[in-house]
Amino acid sequence: MLLRMTALILTLTVAACGGEQTAATAGAAATSQEVYKWSMVTTWPKNLPGMGIAPETIAKKVKEMSNGRLVIKVYGAGEVVGPMEVFDAVSLGTVQMGHGAAYYWKGKDPATQFFTAVPFGLTAQEMNGWLLHGGGLELWRELYAQYDLVPFPAGNTGVQMAGWFNKEINSLDDMKGLKMRIPGLGGEVFERLGGTAVSMAGGDIYTSMQTGVIDATEWVGPYNDLAFGLHQVAKYYYYPGWQEPGPNLELIVNKDAWDTLPDDLKAIVENAALAVNADLLAEYTARNNAALRELVDEHGVQLRRLPDDVLKELQVISEELTAKAIDRDSDLARRIYESFKQYQKDVVAYHEISERAYINAR
């Protein structure tokens, strides 16, 4: 019995020592793993609430989840490249990552607009469904692969506002002749109504409104518009945001840089983007109404609904231009359009008896 007990003690001692050695070896291996230091450029002003903080949050989550193995330095619009140069900077490998909105790159390919927002298109909830479970993400990645990019959904503001105007809009005639900052397909629709669409980065909007370069602007919604001080340069605030019902924001990664990452770091980047994608929508949902109340109650902003005849005409034009927004000679563009429209048809049918029916009942 004594011999058996001695043997058992020796066995346990050896096993414990072996375990300590294995743990120490594993720890040494972990600390010796390569550390990646990347840069991310964005289309947003530095520290803009919501959208401007989202890339910082992605970088923070990636660093924490990777235990410091992937460190991302975030630069705001204009710090390294201009806000409209983000796509090219990441595509060319000047930096490894970017955060922005796909409709800014319609000059590269009009089909990019389907991955941000289409007028009278998908809400945030519906957009996430199409991208993550309706085939949208696969089509998006096929499109961006042509530019050596890997895209991820990385934020959504929810339904935006129609925008700020320096005069009341009571009819279609009131839209004619206006110069409005409005990007993407929304801008094309606005021009068909007789206005002039102006494309500019967010950081230029306030001064352009103040100096009369533009007569109207859409930006995001109360949370961001209050932070920009847009109530100081226009007093009429219109809804609903027909042009951006659920704008998806993107994280883009240079394909060559992406291929250098081990699988666990790839998973960390993807999950950090998805976490921010969900959190950003929650943030805007929580903050918008309080900001709207401040704009109306404290700053005297006049909240207006676009007239029905204006909304109807906008929808008619939107349907026509959305169908023309793709390159009909491109098989990929056709597949993107058909996937988007079929998904919208299906999800709207269900939402008639779910989301809309419940909201109307409530």
For 86, 114, 182, 244, 362, the CA distances from 186, given in Å and listed in that order, are 21, 12, 6, 8, 31
- Count other C-beta atoms under 10 Å from residue 296's C-beta: 15
Is the pTM value of this prediction over 0.75? Answer: yes
Taking the C-alpha atoms of residue 67 and residue 13, their distance in angstroms, rounded to an integer, is 32
pLDDT of 33: 85
What is the separation of C-alpha 326 from the centre of its chain, rounded to a whole number of angstroms?
21
Assign domain 34-156+246-285 one CATH number from 3.40.190.170, 3.40.50.720, 3.40.50.1000, 3.40.605.10: 3.40.190.170
Instruction: Using the predicted structure, report yes or no on whether residue 13 has a pLDDT greater than 70.
Output: no
- Domains of the chain, residue spans: 34-156+246-285, 163-242+300-361
Taking the C-alpha atoms of residue 256 and residue 234, their distance in angstroms, rounded to an integer, is 45
Q: What are phi and psi of 164, to 5 degrees?
A: -105, 135
pLDDT of 18: 46
Is residue 247 within 8 A of residue 102, CB to CB? The reply is no
Q: Which of 12-16, 222-226, 261-265, 289-293 has the lowest mean pLDDT?
A: 12-16
Q: What are phi and psi of 43, to 5 degrees?
A: -90, 0
Taking the C-alpha atoms of residue 340 and residue 329, their distance in angstroms, rounded to an integer, is 18
Is residue 195 within 8 A of residue 175, CB to CB? The reply is yes
- 247 DSSP 8-state letter: P
Question: What is the number of residues in the chain?
Answer: 362
Q: Output the six-digit token pair for 264.
A: 């666990």
Q: What are the tens digits of pLDDT across the range 151-204?
A: 999 999 999 999 999 999 999 999 999 999 999 999 999 999 999 999 898 999
Beta bridge partners of 179: 196
Q: Output the six-digit token pair for 210.
A: 């103040």
pLDDT band of 14, cuts 50, 70, 90:
very low
* CATH architecture type of domain 163-242+300-361: 3-Layer(aba) Sandwich (3.40)
Distance between first and last Cα of the chain: 78
Is residue 113 within 8 A of residue 306, CB to CB? The reply is no
Helix (H, G, I), strand (E, B) or coil at 127: helix
Q: What is the mean pLDDT of residues 239-264?
A: 98
pLDDT of 108: 94
User: Dihedral angle at the C-alpha atoms of 176, 178, 179, 180, nearest 10 degrees?
Assistant: -90
Strand 36-42 and strand 70-75: the pairing is parallel
Residue with token string 């085939």: 135
Q: Matching CATH topology for 34-156+246-285 and 163-242+300-361?
A: yes
